[in-house]
Amino acid sequence: MKKEKLRILLIGYGKMGRAIEAIAAERGHTISAIVSDKQIDISHICKAYQPNIAFEFTSPAAAVSNLEALIVAGIPTVCGSTGWLEHWNSIVGLVQKEKGSLFYASNFSMGMNLLFKLTEIAGRFVKDLPEYEVSIEEIHHLEKKDIPSGTALTLADKLLIELSRKKSWVVNQPLPHSDSIHITALREPNIPGTHKIKFSSPIETVEMIHTAHSRMGFADGAVRAGEWLMGKKGVFTMEDFLHDSFSKTL
């Protein structure tokens, strides 16, 4: 089946936005308009440039208002901004009200989504082995605003589902919390993203690590998600996309 060509409204033109621009061109799509300012006149952009999809990769402060404007304008949207999920229910409600299309992921990398799946399996494996303590470490570039990362929170949420002995997560706390998942969040120069899950017992340690060497893996997954989103209505995540694309494998 031939994929519809995307005419992309790219909102956010940082390093991730530039990576999406490059991958979209490689896959035969067009960037109709680029917006770096969070103050967006969606109706004007739609009339002037006629995009058929938007990619929203900005900041926690800008994401919600951007998403609201895009949903009301009827533009299918792929969102990778993190740090705004306290507004998730209201955005989902708006998508349903407007019969819109939204694809959200904290991380679009195929490799990271493999780690998400492995984390679920590992959590189920150690749920009845309380001697294994679990922790998460994430390292990102200095410009990243949200702490911990959205990806680290996704990993923590998957573990919380599997481990009844864990009730919540804490970040950068000096002492271990027996009923919480401890997240260490570090910010260092020029780090696209590293995430480590550690299961430690008195006799051994098991670690799973995802290291991004560039943003191209994230951008490739985002553009593929945008291709998949076309023609669909509702709110979707990488789990929907991966299940639809790789159901025999998963």
Domain ranges of the chain: 7-108+215-246, 110-211
Please name the residue that has the structure tokens 């509702």. 234
CATH placement of domain 7-108+215-246:
3.40.50.720
Q: How far is CA 100 from CA 88, 94, 189, 237, in A?
A: 15, 8, 38, 14
Single out the residue of 203, 210, 199 nearest to residue 124, CA to CA: 199
Closest CA to 56 of 195, 183, 226: 226
pLDDT of 39: 60
- Examine the residue annotation and report whether 182 is marked as an active-site residue of this protein: no
User: Under CATH, which architecture does the 110-211 domain have?
Assistant: 2-Layer Sandwich (3.30)
Q: Residues 44, 97, 140, 177: which is the catalytic one?
A: 140
Which has the closest alpha carbon to 154: 181, 191, 186?
A: 181
pLDDT for 165 equals: 94
Token pair recorded at residue 164:
């009844």
DSSP conformation letters of the chain:
-PPPPPEEEEE--SHHHHHHHHHHHHTT-EEEEEE-SS---HHHHHHHH--SEEEE---HHHHHHHHHHHHHHT--EEE---S-GGGHHHHHHHHHHHT-EEEE-S---HHHHHHHHHHHHHHHHHTT-TT-EEEEEEEE-TT--SSS-HHHHHHHHHHHHH-TT--EEEES-SS--TTEEEEEEEE-TT---EEEEEEE-SS-EEEEEEE-SSSHHHHHHHHHHHHHHTT--EEE-HHHHHHHHHTTT-
pLDDT given for residue 37 in this prediction: 61
Query: Which pLDDT score, from 0 to 100, does residue 50 have?
Result: 92
Q: Which of 29, 144, 158, 166 is catalytic?
A: 144
Is 2 catalytic? The answer is no
- The pLDDT assigned to 106 comes to 86
Q: What is the mean pLDDT of each run of 10 residues along the chain (250 residues)?
A: 85 92 96 79 84 93 91 95 93 97 93 92 95 95 88 95 95 82 94 94 96 90 96 95 70
